[in-house]
Every structure is written in structure tokens, then in C-alpha cells.
């Protein structure tokens, strides 16, 4: 056995994969801000977070807006002399740091309070660059560094549970530079727990994250911004419901729309599925509605709020801007904003607001809520404007600020006809905020809605003349004038009234405790089969374009009957196929035990993550039982955590800290944990084993959770 001292984070969930979510719906009505003054949801949230009255909160928020307006009005000649700026909530004024009496006089002449400081911005930047050089690719225990503008100094924060001789040398070196070293005993982590800000979405089969803000591209394509650590897999399906149901679109299209590195923590999900619309309304979880009217850059002292799927609606004060964080494992992110607001696992990617302005995307935090948080208890967000600029996206806004309609679609034309359809194309409209879609009219009747600049209108009669127009629309509901009319005539022929043939030889190709896989022989049609509809009994379960499908979300050890119908482009449906009877597999102990037998290596200073999908109903058992089949040469190095679908984390084993002797991880270790009241059993449960020591090997070979 070897004797060692812990040198890694004393928390298992290092580099947690975030949890996100999105709720399907139509465009939300534009909630009007409290006029005059701040949105009531922000007033209530700030009052609750800071322990002040709603009237005091309203006064601070209104003064904060005035401070931002005043800062934007400062001339470049004065801005270039500032060593920092912040909002002083107690005094209700914008405060700037300057190094000369002349600059102080200029600021005061513009109604801005000035304070004399020793270090200029150039001095602070030079000092910060020296710190970054010393940090390099990471120093054990050092998890943040940045400028404290109020105190006119650069500071670093050190987790004392992870310090080594290298840490001590680093701290001595930065102190020689005049840098403040703040010591703590914990640190932040990236959190795991209508497309509407703060609502949940699911990346593939992973646990959920939260929606940031809706945005459009230059072609009117729909997207939403969220955390980069939620979109790290290229081309991953994004869903609005757990169990890979209700698809929204695709995250990180092409592998170039996600960043989780020094540059930032930000990513993009393309919203491509029919029926999904972007909303400028924020999910304030029961507070009065807020509609996003634009974006802003946060300053120190600001009162900000965020919406996330787990902590819901939380507010706090900005303590630092442009401050770096080291999450461990080589993940360093620069230029983030740190706040006192509470956040929890599952909030990742959710939107941060300054009144009704978008300011950030949730990055990480302590996954706990504490009063008077120190640096290691703060929540962190990625500035949203950086993400908008990086991918050339336009924020979806609404409310009274956007009353400008898009321009009319230009150069509309017919690009092809059949006996039952007309294909159309037009030039893109422009808008002061962003075009979100186009409505295509057949005469005065709405024929179809698309997000691209082309469409095909089907179901028409042969050898008939038709007149089409197109209108563009934006997120605020403003519609353009109609385009010029396009006259087109369908080709002669017989109307397609012939349905496809019935799908043949339907069969079950596999079952699990929660799904049934089906296949069938292709139908034929006089024009062409467009899709297949799979019915579970009389309910439509899914629609596919191939000759196979998997129906998910089923109950263990239950009999089901499925039929399949083919459809063509004219809307004709075949007769239902013969019924396929299938029974889901039982699962263990009545469907309450779920197992993952895949091997995951347990590596030094990394986290092995293994998930199971629970189809159990109701609330989880008390206690929950977790059996872990793993091998490892040093149990004392390990932190073992169970993550619930709700985003809550239940510690099963924690590294002791200090000096200790290594013993092997026992085979078949069983843990029990008491869940919070009402913890739902269904959804994705995740086991996380973090290895916080050097020089060991291990494998997570299997685990199960009994709910």
C-alpha cells in the first residue's frame, strides 16, 4: 500500500455533462415589461435573493438601467482612461475607477461617480497576463483568476484541498507580483442537471440541460444558444422530452457550433423540426412574464437573474466579469461572469438576464445554494454577445421594442410543377431583429409555413391555375407585406387519389423493458410513398420514412399491438398492416432495477460516467440501492456519485482528504441513499466515479440502481 495526500478536487462530479431542456409550444405572447421600471419577475427575484423589499429591488433595478445607459454615453476619450467600472447598488450610481484627477473631473461632469486608484487598466492587464503565463495549462488547486475592479487588483482563487508544492510555488510567485491569493476548500463545476429560455432540452440519450436564448441566422434559420458542454457531440439529436422523444433539431451541426475551452462555454442547437417555434418569452417559473428585448454586457454590481430547469428562477449580484475558471482535467475557460445567484445541476445553458436584456448562458456553479456565497460558491455564466458574434446569429426578441415588420419576400417564382404540386422559391426578407419564417398562401388560404426560402405546395388538382403569395414573419409576430403574386398551373393528369399498398410482413425485431423495434416490407404507390405511420393500438406512436422503427417509452413486461400505414405526398393512406403483437421484457424486480454492463475505464483525474434509463413509475424507493461492480487499486482516491434525472446529486463515496493508505475497491460494493421527498423514479440515472489521485488503474464494469 502507498501513502499519499489528496491533490485533486474533493468532489466526484468533475467536468459534469450538463443537463438541458426545451418545452414545445407556439410563439408565446409577448409579455410586457413593468412600465415604467423593471420586470416584476426580476423585482421579486432580486428582493428574495438579497433580502430586501420589492420596492428597494425595483429602485435598484431602475438605477441599474440608468447606470448602463450612462456608461454607453461615455466618450471613447474617457473610456480609454478607465481602470474599471461597476454599479454601486447602495448609492444607485455608476462608478468608474480612474488614475488621474483629469479623468475624475470628466466623469463627474457626466454625472458619474469616480474613484482614484493606483493601477491603470494597462497595469492590470499586464499583471493578469503574467498570471496566465504562470498558470499555463493548470496548477493544482488554482481554479480562477481575473481582475477585481472594485479593489483594483488581480486575484487568484485556490482550493486548499488540492494544493501541492507546485501550488505553493505558484502562490508565492503571484504574491510577488502584487496579486491577491484567496483560499477556499471547494470549487465550482460544470453542472449536469415553444423553445423558451430556461426550459429543459435533452441532448440525445443524455440527461437534460436548459435552453439559453432563441436566435436566427442570416437565412432566417432557427436556433437556440446553450452551453458548449451540453453540445459537445457533433450532429447530436436534440429532444424536447426525455427518452429521445419529441425531437427539436440537431446540436453542434457540422461539429463547428460548440466551444468548451479557453474561448468560452457556448453552443448552438439548430431547430429544424416542424411545430417548433422560437419564443422571446422567458420561462420565469411562475413569476410574471419577461420578454427579451435585446442583449447587454453585465458589469460588476449588476442585479441579474437566470432561468434553469432545476433551480428555476434565481437572482443575485455580479461580483466579477472577465474572470477565468479552471474546472480541472485541463478545462480552463477565460472571461466568464461570476455571480452570487444560486444554481443547481440541470441549469447548464440556461439564460441569464439583466432586467429584460439577455446577458449570459449558464456555465457552472457549486450545485448547492448557500447564503452570502464566497468565491467557491458562486455561479458562473458565459456572456451571450460573444456567442451571437461568433456564429453571426441574431437574438430573438419581442415586446414593445420590436414593432418593425420584415421586408416583403422578393422575386417569388415557380421552380417546378406536377399534376398535384407547385414548387416555389423567393429571395430572403430582411428584418431589424431576424426573420423566423415564411407563410405561403394559396389565394387567401395559408398553404404551408417554412423557415427556408423555398416550399412545395401539394394536394392540388391537375391542370388547374393557382396564385401564390408569401409573407415573412419575425419572432415578435410582425408580418411583412405580401410578395408579388406567382401564377402557376399544375400539369395535366389524373389527380392522385390512389393510396399506397399495405405494408407487408410486419414483425418485431427486438424488445427491451421500455421499447419495441419493428420492421416491415415496403409499400408501393403510383407516385411514391412519402412516409409510414406506426400506431400503438389506436395512438400514433411515430412517423418514419424508412421501413423500420423503434417505439420507446413503454412499460416493462407489458403486451402491445402495433400496426403500420403508408402515406403518399397527396395524403392518401394505405390500409393498416396486420397487427404485430409484442411484449416488453420484464426487467429485474418488477421493472424497478436497471443495469448498465458496459465497461468504462477509471483514469487518473478523470470521471467515468455510466447511465441507465429507468422506466419505473412514481417516486423512487426510500432508500435507493446502488450496486457497483468495479475494480480499482485505490478506493480512497475515488468519489462516487449518483445523479438523478431531476439533476440532484447523491454522494455515495467521498475521498477522505489528508494522508491515507490505499486499499482496493471491494467487488460488488452496495450503497444506499435516501432520496429527497418526491424524487421521481423515471428517467436517466447516472453513476459517476471520479478518480482524484495519481498512478492507479480501474474499470467500472457494471452497476445497477433499484428504485
Name the DSSP letter for residue 636. G
Instruction: Please say whether the beta carbons of 214 and 242 come within 8 A.
Output: no
What pLDDT is stored for residue 436 in this prediction?
66
Instruction: Please say whether the beta carbons of 13 and 265 come within 8 A.
Output: no
Q: What's the pLDDT tens digit per position in 61-96?
A: 888 988 898 888 888 888 889 999 999 888 888 999
Nine-digit cell string for 367 = 450545485
Instruction: Please say whether the beta carbons of 215 and 251 come within 8 A.
Output: no
Distance CA 71, CA 69 (A): 5
Instruction: Please say whether the beta carbons of 532 and 549 come within 8 A.
Output: yes
Which of 370, 408, 394 lies closest to 484 in space, CA to CA?
408
Neighbouring C-beta atoms of residue 81, cutoff 10 Å = 19
Distance CA 365, CA 375 (A): 10
CA 329 from chain center: how many Å?
22
What pLDDT is stored for residue 393 in this prediction?
93
What pLDDT is stored for residue 455 in this prediction?
86
Distance CA 220, CA 226 (A): 19
Q: Which residue has the cell 417548433?
A: 276
Q: What's the pLDDT tens digit per position in 582-604?
A: 888 765 444 588 888 777 888 87
What pLDDT is stored for residue 3 in this prediction?
33
What pLDDT is stored for residue 485 in this prediction?
95
Q: Please enumerate in sequence order all residues whose Cβ is within 8 A of that of 521, keeping only pairs 6 or more positions apart, or say none.
A: 503, 504, 505, 547
Distance CA 178, CA 40 (A): 43
> How far, in Å, are 281, 311, 381 from residue 225 at the CA level?
15, 19, 13
Reported as type and span, the H/E element at residue 124 is: helix 121-135
Q: Please enumerate in sequence order all residues whose Cβ is within 8 A of that of 105, keeping only pairs 6 or more positions apart, or say none.
A: none
Q: SS3 of 478, please?
A: coil
What's the pTM value of the predicted model, to 2 decimals?
0.47
Q: Which residue has the cell 422523444?
A: 245
For 256, counting Cβ atoms within 10 Å of its Cβ (0-12 exposed, 13-18 middle, 19+ buried), the class is: exposed
Q: SS3 of 46, please?
A: helix
What pLDDT is stored for residue 8 in this prediction?
25
Which of 259, 254, 213, 214 lies closest to 234 in space, CA to CA?
254
Counts of helices then strands in the chain (DSSP H, E): 7, 51
- Neighbour order of strands in the sheet with 445-450: 445-450, 435-442, 465-474, 486-489
Distance CA 523, CA 83 (A): 72
> How far, in Å, are 33, 190, 332, 377 from residue 260 at the CA level?
34, 10, 9, 21
Terminal-to-terminal C-alpha distance of the chain? 37
Q: SS3 of 12, please?
A: coil
Distance CA 98, CA 117 (A): 6
Which of 500, 591, 129, 506 lies closest to 334 in space, CA to CA?
129
For 316, counting Cβ atoms within 10 Å of its Cβ (0-12 exposed, 13-18 middle, 19+ buried), the class is: buried
Name the DSSP letter for residue 619. B
pLDDT, block means (10 residues), the chain with 707 residues: 28 27 28 49 82 84 87 88 89 90 88 90 87 83 84 84 78 85 64 66 85 89 92 89 81 91 92 80 78 90 90 90 82 89 86 94 76 75 94 82 79 89 89 74 85 81 91 77 93 78 89 81 86 86 82 78 88 89 66 78 80 84 87 84 84 67 80 84 87 79 87
Q: Cα 544–548–554 angle (5° rounding)?
A: 85
Neighbouring C-beta atoms of residue 163, cutoff 10 Å = 20
Instruction: Please say whether the beta carbons of 503 and 568 come within 8 A.
Output: no
Amino acid at each position: 500500500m502507498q501513502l499519499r495526500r489528496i491533490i485533486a478536487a474533493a468532489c466526484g462530479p468533475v467536468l459534469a455533462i450538463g443537463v438541458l431542456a426545451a418545452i414545445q409550444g407556439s410563439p408565446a405572447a409577448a409579455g410586457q415589461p413593468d412600465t415604467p421600471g423593471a420586470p416584476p419577475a426580476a423585482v421579486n427575484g432580486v428582493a428574495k435573493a438579497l433580502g430586501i423589499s420589492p420596492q428597494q429591488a425595483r429602485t435598484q433595478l431602475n438605477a441599474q438601467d440608468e447606470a448602463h445607459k450612462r456608461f454607453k454615453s461615455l466618450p471613447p476619450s474617457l473610456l480609454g482612461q478607465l481602470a474599471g467600472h461597476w454599479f454601486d447598488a447602495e448609492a444607485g450610481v455608476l462608478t468608474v475607477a480612474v488614475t488621474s484627477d483629469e479623468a475624475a473631473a470628466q466623469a463627474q461632469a457626466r454625472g458619474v461617480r469616480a474613484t482614484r486608484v493606483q493601477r491603470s487598466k494597462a497595469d492590470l492587464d499586464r499583471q493578469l497576463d503574467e498570471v496566465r503565463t504562470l498558470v499555463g495549462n493548470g496548477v493544482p488547486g488554482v481554479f480562477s483568476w481575473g481582475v477585481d475592479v472594485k479593489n483594483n487588483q488581480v486575484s487568484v482563487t485556490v482550493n486548499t484541498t488540492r494544493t501541492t508544492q507546485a501550488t505553493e510555488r505558484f502562490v508565492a510567485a503571484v504574491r510577488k507580483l502584487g496579486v491577491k491569493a484567496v483560499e477556499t476548500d471547494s470549487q465550482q463545476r460544470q453542472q449536469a442537471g415553444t423553445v423558451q429560455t430556461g426550459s429543459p432540452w435533452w441532448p440525445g440519450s443524455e440527461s437534460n440541460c436548459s435552453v439559453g436564448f432563441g436566435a436566427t441566422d442570416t437565412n432566417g434559420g432557427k436556433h437556440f444558444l446553450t452551453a458548449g458542454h451540453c453540445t459537445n457531440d457533433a450532429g447530436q439529436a436534440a429532444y424536447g422530452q426525455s427518452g429521445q422523444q419529441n425531437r427539436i433539431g440537431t446540436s453542434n451541426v457540422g461539429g463547428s457550433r460548440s466551444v468548451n475551452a479557453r474561448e468560452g462555454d457556448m453552443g448552438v442547437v439548430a431547430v429544424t423540426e416542424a411545430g417548433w417555434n422560437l419564443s422571446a418569452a422567458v420561462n420565469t417559473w411562475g413569476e410574471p412574464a419577461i420578454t427579451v428585448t435585446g442583449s447587454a454586457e453585465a458589469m460588476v454590481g449588476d442585479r441579474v437573474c437566470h432561468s434553469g430547469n432545476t433551480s428555476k428562477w434565481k437572482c443575485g449580484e455580479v461580483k466579477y466579469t472577465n474572470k477565468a475558471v479552471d474546472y480541472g482535467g485541463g478545462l480552463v475557460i477565460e472571461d466568464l461572469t461570476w455571480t452570487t445567484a444560486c444554481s443547481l445541476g440541470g441549469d447548464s445553458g440556461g439564460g441569464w438576464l439583466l432586467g429584460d436584456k439577455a446577458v449570459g448562458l449558464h456555465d457552472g456553479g457549486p450545485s448547492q445554494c448557500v447564503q452570502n456565497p464566497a468565491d467557491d460558491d458562486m455561479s458562473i455564466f458565459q456572456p451571450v454577445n460573444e456567442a451571437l458574434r461568433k456564429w453571426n446569429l441574431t437574438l430573438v426578441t419581442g415586446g414593445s421594442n420590436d414593432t418593425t415588420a420584415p421586408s416583403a419576400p422578393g422575386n417569388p417564382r415557380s421552380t417546378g410543377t406536377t399534376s398535384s404540386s407547385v414548387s416555389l422559391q423567393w429571395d430572403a426578407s430582411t428584418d431589424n431583429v431576424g426573420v423566423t419564417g415564411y407563410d405561403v398562401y394559396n389565394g387567401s388560404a395559408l398553404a404551408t409555413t417554412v423557415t427556408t426560402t423555398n416550399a412545395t405546395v401539394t394536394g392540388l388538382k391537375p391542370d388547374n391555375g393557382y396564385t401564390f403569395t408569401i409573407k415573412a414573419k419575425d419572432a415578435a409576430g410582425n408580418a411583412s407585406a405580401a410578395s408579388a403574386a406567382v401564377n402557376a398551373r399544375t400539369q395535366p393528369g389524373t389527380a392522385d387519389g390512389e393510396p399506397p399498398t399495405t405494408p407487408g410482413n410486419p414483425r418485431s425485431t427486438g424488445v427491451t423493458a421500455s421499447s419495441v423495434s419493428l420492421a416491415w416490407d415496403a409499400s408501393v404507390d403510383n407516385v411514391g410513398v412519402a412516409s409510414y405511420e406506426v400506431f400503438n393500438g389506436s395512438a400514433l406512436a411515430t412517423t418514419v420514412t424508412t421501413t423500420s422503427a423503434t417505439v420507446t417509452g413503454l412499460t416493462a413486461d407489458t403486451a402491445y399491438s402495433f400496426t403500420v400505414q403508408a402515406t403518399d405526398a397527396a395524403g392518401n393512406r394505405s390500409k393498416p398492416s396486420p397487427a404485430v403483437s409484442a411484449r416488453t421484457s420484464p426487467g429485474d424486480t418488477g421493472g424497478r432495477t436497471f443495469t448498465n454492463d458496459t465497461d468504462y475505464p477509471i483514469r487518473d483525474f478523470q470521471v467515468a460516467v455510466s447511465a441507465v434509463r429507468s422506466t419505473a413509475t412514481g417516486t423512487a424507493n426510500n432508500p435507493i440501492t446502488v450496486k457497483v461492480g468495479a475494480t480499482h487499486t485505490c478506493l480512497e482516491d475515488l468519489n462516487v456519485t449518483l445523479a438523478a434525472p431531476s439533476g440532484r446529486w447523491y454522494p455515495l463515496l467521498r475521498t477522505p482528504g489528508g494522508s491515507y493508505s490505499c486499499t482496493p475497491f471491494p467487488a460488488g460494493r452496495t450503497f444506499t441513499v435516501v432520496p429527497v421527498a418526491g424524487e421521481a423514479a423515471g428517467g436517466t440515472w447516472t453513476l459517476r466515479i471520479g478518480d482524484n489521485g495519481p498512478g492507479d488503474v480501474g474499470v467500472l464494469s457494471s452497476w445497477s440502481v433499484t428504485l
